[in-house]
């Protein structure tokens, strides 16, 4: 069976076709500019995968949409499938799901945040395979979190926005923070843009400055400590460009254990190297999660 997958990100749209094993068989990348420019190309791609001239087994059976947020993921809501108050003005209140439904007709569609989809991909085929309670944090230009509890993505009134967790300032750190809404929140202190503003160079040019990564690890570990105290996940996966600086992992693990201070005694925390781990799907976790979302929608 073939499924369509759309990973709608702030800079690019990845349109793909994959199968029930998560294999990606075809993919095109379309820049995210404005809905008027971008969406016709996205629609054209998926229309070509639904064309009547195709044999049935070469047509996609559903579409999964992994969308940048904030988005309305509450099924039954009047604005279900819309992008909400994003700083990307052109996309504010854009009805992503409705636009695709109107254009592609009556095929099953699933819709979630890109970070929930990344976790869905990792929980189906990757680093969190088989787990029911897990967290995915992406630390790149911005910071986002997806989570599953009891096997299902966490939505609630909106969806997790843990990039904006409140932080306790590390003593001696007087950086004002990069977040326009909160200043020194998690994203404000630890995202890629914050690293660049604080140290005057992008993260990739700071590999030889251990103090950069000590400080970065302390903020990431604070956020992880709060997340594990609230969600009690079986695993926390860290992805995104900043985490490509591999020496961060041991530092983050060290500070999480220091902050938890043996208060939580579980086999997961005793195996900290597997509890706090990188993504396993080589950057394809979002697209693969969207494939899984499509498969689930088609099975309903």
Residues in touch with a second copy (CB under 8 A): 70, 84-85, 132-133, 145, 147, 149-150, 152, 154-162, 164-169, 181-182, 222, 225-227, 229-234, 259, 261-269
Check: CB of residue 6 under 8 Å from CB of residue 47: no
Cα separations in angstroms, 262 against 225, 259, 267? 12, 9, 12
Nearer of residues 54 and 230 to a second copy, judged by Cβ: 230
Smallest distance from the beta carbon of 156 to a second copy, in angstroms? 3
Is residue 277 a contact partner of residue 235, using CB atoms and an 8 Å limit?
yes
Shortest CB 292 distance to a second copy, Å: 17
CA–CA distance, 300 with 297 (Å, rounded to integer) = 5
User: Nearer to a second copy by C-beta: 15 or 228?
Assistant: 228
Of the pair 101, 182, the CB lying nearest a second copy is at: 182
Give the shortest CB-69-to-a second copy separation in angstroms: 11
Q: How far apart are CA 196 and CA 155, in angstroms?
A: 32
Q: Which is nearer to a second copy, 208 or 262 (CB)?
A: 262
Cβ proximity to a second copy, 64 vs 163, nearer residue: 163
The two beta strands, 60-67 and 109-113, are parallel
- Residue 211 has phi, psi (to 5 degrees) of -65, -30
| Minimum distance of a second copy from residue 215's CB (angstroms) | 16
Q: Minimum CB separation from a second copy for residue 102, in Å?
A: 26
What is the closest distance, in whole angstroms, from the C-beta atom of residue 287 to a second copy in the complex? 24
C-alpha separations of 47 from 15, 42, 222 in Å: 11, 9, 45
Instruction: Round to whole Å and give the CA distance between 235 and 134.
Output: 5
Nearer to a second copy, 59 or 74 (CB): 74
107, 121 Cβ separation under 8 angstroms: no
């Amino acid at each position: 069976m073939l499924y369509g997958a759309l990973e709608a990100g702030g800079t690019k749209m990845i349109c793909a076709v994959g199968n029930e094993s998560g294999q990606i068989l075809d993919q095109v990348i379309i820049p995210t500019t404005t809905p008027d420019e971008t969406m016709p190309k996205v629609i054209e791609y998926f229309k070509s995968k639904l064309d009547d001239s195709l044999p049935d087994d070469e047509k996609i059976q559903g579409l999964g949409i992994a969308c940048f947020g904030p988005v309305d993921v509450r099924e039954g809501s009047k604005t279900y499938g819309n992008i909400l108050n994003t700083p990307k003005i052109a996309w504010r209140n854009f009805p992503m799901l409705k636009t695709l439904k109107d254009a592609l007709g009556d095929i099953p569609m699933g819709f979630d945040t890109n970070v929930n989809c990344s976790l869905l991909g990792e929980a189906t085929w990757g680093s969190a395979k088989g787990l029911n309670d897990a967290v995915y944090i992406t630390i790149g230009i911005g910071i986002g979190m997806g989570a599953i509890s009891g096997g299902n993505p966490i939505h609630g009134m909106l969806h997790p926005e843990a990039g904006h967790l409140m932080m306790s300032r590390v003593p001696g750190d007087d950086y004002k923070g990069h977040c326009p809404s909160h200043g020194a929140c998690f994203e404000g202190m630890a995202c890629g843009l914050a690293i660049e503003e604080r140290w005057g160079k992008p993260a990739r040019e700071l590999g030889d400055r251990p103090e950069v990564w000590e400080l970065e690890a302390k903020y990431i570990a604070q956020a992880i400590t709060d997340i594990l105290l609230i969600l009690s996940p079986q695993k926390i996966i860290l992805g995104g460009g900043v985490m490509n600086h591999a020496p961060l992992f041991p530092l983050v693990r060290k500070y999480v254990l220091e902050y938890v201070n043996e208060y939580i005694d579980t086999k997961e925390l005793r195996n900290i190297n597997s509890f706090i781990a990188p993504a396993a799907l080589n950057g394809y976790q979002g697209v693969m999660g969207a494939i899984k979302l499509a498969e689930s929608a088609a099975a309903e």
